[in-house]
Every structure is written in C-alpha cells, then in structure tokens.
Structure 1
Amino acid sequence: MNTTIGVIGLGLMGSAMARRLAESGLSVIGYNRHPRDVEGVTTVATLAETAEQANTLWLMVSDFQACREVIDSLGEGGIRDHVVINSSTIAPAESAELARRVEALGGEFLEAPVLGSIPQAKTGTLQLLLGGPAELVGRLEKPLEALGTPTHFGPIRSGAGAKLAFNQLIGSLTAAFSMSLGLVQREGVDVDKFMATLRESALYAPTFDKKLDNMLDHSFEKANFPLKHLLKDIRLFTSSAGTQGIDTHLLIGLQHVLEEGVYAGHGNHDYSALFESVVRENTPGNTTTH
C-alpha cells in the first residue's frame, strides 16, 4: 500500500510540516507552485507527479481559491482513491464545498488546520483541529501525531470553525494588549510592574509575553504568522460568524487596524505589528482633548 505523503504548498508552514513528517520516518514528497527546495524532502515538479507518487495529499496553501485550484487541477485522475488533508485556513462553508468536490472525484477529505506556527511544526507540538470521518482520523493517526496533538472536533466544518474561532482570539487579544500597553507607556506607568501584576491576574494570556518584546522594540520582521494572513482570517471569521447570527461589529475596528498595518508595509511582518497601527506616534495631531 502506498503510504507516501505529498505536501502541497511549501511556504513557511508547509516546509516545516513536510520536514517534520520526514524526520518522523514517513515517506514524504513536496510540491510548490514556485519550485522550492526543502531540506530532507524530495520535491517534484508538478501536481500530477505528486498524485502519482503519493496516496495522501496534504494541502497547506494560502486560501480557498488556492485549495480549489489544486483540486480542480488534479481532477478525478489525481484525486480518486487519494486522501486529501487540508491544513489551510478557510471558512467552514468553503471547507464543506472542498469536501463535496473531493468526494465527488472519488477521494476522501479531512480538515486539519493547525494551532501553532513554525516552532511548533518543527518540534511536532502543533495542535491539529480535525473535522471529518472518525474512521479516517484513525487511519491517519501516525502522520497526524507526528505533527502534534490531534483533536477530532466532529464532522466537516467543525475543524475549520474551531480554527477561525482560535484565530479570532489571536487578533482580538493582540489588539487589546496593544491598547493597554500603549496607555501604560504614554502615562509613564512602569511596564515591568504592569506586566508582573498582569501575570498574577485572571486577565493574563501567555500571548501577551510572547509579543511584548516585539512591541517594546518595534521589531516585527521575523514572522511565523504574517499580519496579512491574520487579516484574511479575521475577514473569514466575520463573514462566517455573520451568517450564524453572531454580532461581529467589534471586529470592524480590528479589520481596519490590520488593513492599516498592511498598507503601511507590515503585511509580511509578524502580526504583532498591528501594535504600530493601534499605538500611533504621539504627535499633537493625534491627540484628542475631551
């Protein structure tokens, strides 16, 4: 039985995941639209070659359109009797559409978006948010556990829904912390004392310390999760939650902040660069008197 995994999309996360799977003793090949070498992983030149050599096709691409293009390009010849695992972040409705398309072409589909970024991919400590048939999850236990801790949330849509829920928290918590840290700095409050008190309170989230130095040093160039991708995910959450009767007005401001960051040139920088849009340069023109 062919147990080779073909990782499709060798960007920052796809490359790290492919290397981790290979290091775990699994047979892995990789494909990227723009050819890219990945240490320890054999790469192939076309999607067709990927499907010929691998029975499991693992997608880590930018968005739904890219996912759909991969499936449509492979067609029945590349999908039939294959398992398609999608770790790309897309909306639940989009994931359901992909699943229907894959199944119509004779394949099987599993949602497996991940919580964590490049360091967790390298060490096999990602959290995998699974949606799909339990039987398929059981068959894929070895590669899933090679990357981290898999949690089966239920049928198709549930893994994608959980992923958007988590990523909404990434954006909202980072924006909230940016506002508080900005006021602390502007009012001359001791940052160390503020953080020490925060850590001992029920308000603390570890992500605050994770991004604190970036914000204090205004250093955002090293990105495990770029700002432009967070903007995409917040837009997906807003549109998906809006169809479920959830008021998302609070996210309108967050989208605006993220858009400003992208327009300012931070799109490929770490998402904590939203701090620069929240805490503006303190000039008379930016000061409001009540």
Structure 2
Amino acid sequence: MTIALLGTGLLGSAIATRLLGCGHTLTVWNRKPERCQPLVDLGAQQANSPALAAAQADWLITVLSDGPTTQSVLIDQVGDALRGRRVLQIGTIGPAESQQLADAVHALGGSYLEAPVLGSRPEALEGNLQLMAGGPDELMEEALPLLRQLSQKPVHLGPVGAAMTTKLALNQLIASLTHAFSLSLHLVQQGGVAVEPFMDLLRSSALYAPTFDKKLQRELSGDYSNPNFPTAHLRKDLDLFMAAAQQAGLNSEGLSGLAALLQRSSAAGLDELDYCALHQLTAGQTAAATPD
C-alpha cells in the first residue's frame, strides 16, 4: 500500500517503522521536520506539508496530539486533498471530536475510520497493539489488511465514537490504577513495611493488576525517563474521559482530585516523563523530607 502518516511522535514513529518493515511505501510528515529523519533513514519519504503527504496515498494515518491539532492538520491543511482518501485516525481524541472530524472529512469527499490503540512503542513495533475501530462496516473491511499488521485482533466496536469512548474508558483505568497503587506503595513504605511482602500479598489477591509490577521499579528508583506514554498525555486523556462522562450524565467527581493532581505535573517538570511519574506528586510532603 501507499500510506501517508501524519505525526511521528513516540507512537507514530513506531507505527511508521512497523509499516516500513511490512513493505509499504510510506510518506511521513511532522510539524517538527527533524523528527522524520530516523524514518527517512529507514526508507520513508518526507513531505513538506500534510497535503503533499496525502496526495498519492491509499490511506492517510493520523497520530497527532489532540483533537484540535488533528482537525487543523486534516481539515485546514490537507483540505481538498482528502477527496477520495481513506483516513485512519489513531490519536486519542474525544468521541464528539471524532464525530465532528468524520463529518468534516466526509464533507471534503474522504472517508473516516477511528482506530485508537491500547499499547505503546514496543507493541507497535511488534504489531501487537490492541486496536479498536469505529466507523462504517465497509470501511472496516477495507482497512482490515492494514489493521492486522498493527494488531493481531482488531476489534470493530460500532460507529464513529464507539472506539474513542472505549479508549477513554481504558485510559481512565490506567490513570486510576496508577494513582491508587502509587498511594498504597507510599503508605506501606512510610509505615516501615518492606515492599516485597506487600507485593507478594497483592499479587496473590484479586486486587492485583499487572501494571503494578510493570511500574514498580520505576517508582522505587524514581527513573521515569524514556517514556512510552508521557504524563501530559495521561492528563489529556483523563480530562477527555471526564468531559465524556459529564456529557453522558455520569458522576465523575471522584476523579476530580486525580485530575487536579495531574495539573501539577507541568510545574513539577513531569509532563514529558513516563506517566507513573505521578508517584512524585502523590508523595506530597514526604518528597521534600527525603534526603538527597
């Protein structure tokens, strides 16, 4: 296939690398052109604009930071070049934003499938992302050969909005589980309890989630570098979940404290670090009391 990929951040660059490894002809674009160079070294072509990237593509894949950015790039910059193009929108945005984007793409003569993923750079490179799709049945069928190179089992959840709703529901669990584990870990340590006996009890209980062990060493060592999913993205996705929950008439006030906590990550210098760096925020006064 001839594919254009817009957005070569952590996830986008990994997806692009995977597609090149599968033998596709790939054109890439990023608002920071230097971020395309590693992909050019692997055989991708680099476009000077989103419209030029889309011009000859069978599929146009977007992996951009948020809804407004995706709208700006696809509708304002690609614009009329969307006619006859099939868009695969992977970036996490709100369900309502996704529907608005689909309507705008259709108005310009293109077709639109939302396809957010669970997983990050390692899974993308291996083609093991958990991919959920929302959009027309016939477009899903057309996309399957491509989707199966990114995910072993792509799941079609329904019309546009269904996949983004599911993605936000899953990312809310990432935020809540990480927050809950961080607080518990701090408390047992402050109480003088050794970490391993606590973890042994947790692992053998119904309370255990694998993400606890996945993040344990980072939290114990305080090393949050080389993220696959940064704190700023977790904050953005939790805010999107709360907005969607409010629109659905749900009571999400229990998440307000966590959302407020994550608002402090920028000033704390945690935005570009791994999302479990929120462990520094839950430390509260104990962080200041920790000796150098």
TM range (shorter): over 0.9
Q: Distance in 2 between matches of 1:233 and 1:31?
A: 24
Structure-2 separation of matches of 1:265 and 1:15: 24
Contact map agreement 2:6 2:30 (CA 8 A) in 1:
yes
Checking the alignment, whether the CA contact within 8 Å between 1:261 and 1:276 is kept in structure 2 is no
Structure 1 gap ranges (5+): 286-290
The AA in structure 2 aligned to 1:146 is: Q
1:85 aligns with 2:97: no
Structure 2: stretches of 5+ with no match in the other structure: none
Aligned to 1:119: 122
Equivalent residue, structure 1, for 2:55: 52
- Residue 156 (structure 1) aligns with: 160
CA contact (8 A) 2:54 2:78 kept: no
How far residue 282 of structure 1 moved from its aligned partner, in angstroms, is 2.2
Partner of 1:147, secondary structure, is coil
> Aligned AA for 1:134?
D
CA contact (8 A) 1:57 1:85 kept: yes
1:5-84 equivalent positions in 2, closer than 5 A: 5-35=3-33, 36-37=36-37, 38=39, 39-40=41-42, 41-74=44-77, 76-84=79-87
Contact 1:75 1:105 in 2 (8 A): no
Aligned length: 284
Normalising by the residue count of structure 1, what TM-score does the alignment of the two structures yield? 0.94
Identity of aligned residues (%): 43
Find out whether 1:139 has 2:142 as its counterpart. Answer: yes
Deviates more, 1:138-147 or 1:75-84: 75-84
| Matched letter for residue 166 of structure 1 | L
CA deviation string 1:67-125 (max 9, x = no partner): 11112234552111000110111000000000000011111000001100111111111
Counterpart of 1:288 in structure 2 is none
Q: Residue 274 of structure 1 corresponds to which residue in structure 2?
A: 278
**Structure-1 separation of matches of 2:27 and 2:288:** 57
User: CA RMSD of the aligned region, Å?
Assistant: 1.6
Deviation (angstroms), 1:46: 1.5
Deviation of 1:251 after TM superposition, in Å, equals 1.1
The code of the aligned residue for 1:234 comes to L
Q: Which amino acid letter does the alignment assign opposite residue 185 of structure 2?
A: L
Q: Is the 8 A contact 1:83 1:108 kept in 2?
A: yes
